Amino acid sequence: MSLPRLLGPLRPSQRLKMQSHYLVHCECYISRTLCQANCLYRPGPEIGVLLSTYDFANANKVFCFNLVKFGLENKGEPTPLNAYLSLTSYMFQHAHRSTRAALYTYLSLFVLQILVEDQLLVKRLCSDETKLSVRLCRQRQPYLPVVRGERVPAAIMLDIVSDGISHNLRRRLDVDFYM
């Protein structure tokens, strides 16, 4: 699945178009605009692929190795790890929008944790052979600095996590996100 196909339904304008049939059946006592706003920030059903990714990563270390290694030969095309890190960046910035988005963000965090707990994978993630050019989400301030070119995945993961921390600081702290 390509990155635009995976991230396209997550755009707010697309979500409103796709969920317009849900608005007809929305039987609640709140106004229609509030119902539209609630439907706007729900991740699409395509995001359920994160649960399968977590299951595979948790049960099979070969899957993790292939996630990091696959597609590195084709420098012009995005790799699965490239698409996953870009999706994770988007989810981290919008984790506070709904409970469902927060739960998917936790799944992304768990997969990143599984990847960095394996010593062989960490060596691979820090090596120059696996450099990637990942498009990070920059929809909310403070923006991360724009980095042109390729970087090792470990540096990208650090940027994603630090960006997630800075965008999800609130008065009522989400303890599960920071654990």
Residue 14: inside a domain: no
Query: Residue 153 contacts by C-beta under 8 Å, 6 or more apart in sequence?
Result: 68, 81, 85, 125, 130, 132, 134
In this structure, what token pair is assigned to residue 7? 């991230």
Residue 62: inside a domain: yes
Residue 4: inside a domain: no
Q: Do residues 81 and 153 touch, judged by C-beta distance below 8 A?
A: yes
164: pLDDT confidence band, cut at 50, 70 and 90? confident
Which structural domain, as residue segments, surrounds residue 101? 45-178
The pLDDT of residue 34 is above 60: no
> How many domains are contained in the chain?
1
Count of residues making up the chain: 179
Residue 16: inside a domain: no
In this structure, what token pair is assigned to residue 163? 């960006």
pLDDT given at position 172: 59
How far apart, in whole angstroms, are the C-alpha atoms of residue 116 and residue 29?
46
pTM check: above 0.85: no
Residue 70: inside a domain: yes
Residue 8: inside a domain: no
Q: Do residues 41 and 10 touch, judged by C-beta distance below 8 A?
A: no
39-79 pLDDT per residue, tens:
555 667 777 788 889 999 999 999 999 999 988 888 778 88
Residue 114: inside a domain: yes
How far apart, in whole angstroms, are the C-alpha atoms of residue 120 and residue 140?
34
Residue 146: inside a domain: yes
Query: Residue 4 contacts by C-beta under 8 Å, 6 or more apart in sequence?
Result: none
The pLDDT of residue 152 is above 90: yes
State the greatest distance between any 2 C-alpha atoms of the chain, in Å, as a whole number. 56
Query: Residue 96 contacts by C-beta under 8 Å, 6 or more apart in sequence?
Result: 102, 167, 168, 170, 174
